[in-house]
Structure 1
Amino acid sequence: MSYAVGQELPAFIIESVSAEAMKKWAVFLRDPNPIHLDVEVVKAKGLGSRVINQGPANVAYVMNMLLAAFPGGRIEAMESKFVDNVYAGDQLQAGGIVTGVADGRVNCDVWLRADGQRLVISGTAAILTQLVL
């Protein structure tokens, strides 16, 4: 498969972030932070009126987008910056754009947006698309 600088990657959509899934992520990540589990804690901290998704889950959405965009590829490096929170009920779209192609690697700018516009993650990724010796 060929890739070109400026090529937009296919979007990866999460229709609605699940508060129930956050409970499972909390167990998996051993993260008992109540902002993921108890809306009253979120309100008391002035962080909104819905529970907040775990950061690693949000990064996983971007990683899923990359793996779908590069079948058989491997994420060689990824940096992400958390810009805003993801809340229960948010619709998410992970996307990216190719910024470089060389030696079996594709470099991309990547992002995660909530509700079509609010940037929640920005970052970069390098995808190994073929074996480099």
Structure 2
Amino acid sequence: MEIAIASAIGILVAAAVYLMLRSRSFDLILGLTLLTYATNLLIFSGGRPVVGKPPVLRDGLPATLANYTDPLPQALVLTAIVIAFAMTAVTIVLAMRSRADNDTDHVDGREERVPKPPLAKKDRA
């Protein structure tokens, strides 16, 4: 299970870095989202997840890590998901405002702008 989680984290980080290095704001937002997913998986895997072990204590079982999974990383990931959702919403709003102000989707604002065609004579009146 550790190899699968480590591979998933590596693939998510690689895809996130690739998308964040692109010059479009939509790609940047997707890259940040994938990086958030990778970070959540990394935090979750720090709690030594075990199949079939509950994150709470049961009556009659000693409180050792052999009998339950550490609940702290799960709580941290849940909090991180909520924060990441809010930050993604803020980033989308900023990207939409930047697009409206600059007429471009590029992060650095260096996209070649196509000039608008001149108005026809009948439209000028």
More helix by share: 2
Same-fold status (TM-score > 0.5): no
**Larger RCO (CA within 8 A; separation ≥ 6):** 1
Max radius of gyration: which structure?
2
More strand by share: 1
Q: TM-score, normalised by structure 2?
A: 0.28
